A and B are shown apart, each in its own frame.
Chain A
Amino acid sequence: NAGVTQTPKFRILKIGQSMTLQCTQDMNHNYMYWYRQDPGMGLKLIYYSVGAGITDKGEVPNGYNVSRSTTEDFPLRLELAAPSQTSVYFCASNSLQLARRGYTFGSGTRLTVV
């Protein structure tokens, strides 16, 4: 059982470039999330999804887009990368039925925009 898998682990982008951060979970969780973590700060919610075909904005959605075509995958798209998007990105999942067990997080993607 792999849990939540994120790729890539590291990436350097130039200003204005685009990229997609991949997130896959194999636990059949209906809820999925994208968070970013800046140094010395707590994680902030970017986007979340309550099921395939349903997404919604979190606290810091500007500059990002998501899609949820399947239960397993929840990619995060960065368009026109900016230095302010330099951060560590975490994908997480949870289940309505298993909410008492808490959240499962991926190992993160460290992104630098130069």
Chain B
Amino acid sequence: KQEVTQIPAALSVPEGENLVLNCSFTDSAIYNLQWFRQDPGKGLTSLLLIQSSQREQTSGRLNASLDKSSGRSTLYIAASQPGDSATYLCAGGSNDYKLSFGAGTTVTVRA
């Protein structure tokens, strides 16, 4: 069973600082790794999806890496803005298309 851990649970940074969010997983036979954003009281918005054959994905200021050998994924957000304040969830996908979620990292970007 895939176990996904996100540390820290919360993070506060000043505006303009780069954000580094960590995700670790126990089963290296991961099918894909997906990062989501969740705003308070809202649903999940998909940010980036990394297939098991890929090492990273980029979208604008966001970059996510995947290292299956170490069981880690990292989400980088460059030049953070107050609008980046949210909870970020990572989820490991299995080959039967089920997701195992971490508990999330709640980010606050201070203006």
Q: Are B43 and A103 in contact (CB under 8 A)?
A: no
Q: Interface on chain B toward A: helix, strand, loop, or mixed SS?
A: strand
Q: Are A43 and B51 in contact (CB under 8 A)?
A: no
Which residue of B has the minimal Cβ distance to A95? B97
CA A92 to CA B99, docked complex, whole Å: 11
Question: What distance in Å separates the Cβ of B30 from its nearest Cβ neighbour in chain A?
Answer: 13
Stretch at the interface among A13-21, A66-74, A76-84, A105-113: A105-113
CA A107 to CA B34, docked complex, whole Å: 18
A interface residues (Cβ-Cβ under 8 A, vs B)? 31, 33, 35, 40-45, 48, 50, 58, 90, 92, 94, 96, 99-108, 110
Contacts of A35 in B (CB 8 A): 101
Select B103's contact among A40, A100, A102, beta carbons within 8 Å: A40
Considering only residues 1-22 of chain B, those with a C-beta below 8 Å from chain A are 4, 9
Q: Are B49 and A105 in contact (CB under 8 A)?
A: no
List the 4 closest A-B pairs by CB distance, nearest first.
A42-B101, A102-B49, A107-B43, A105-B44
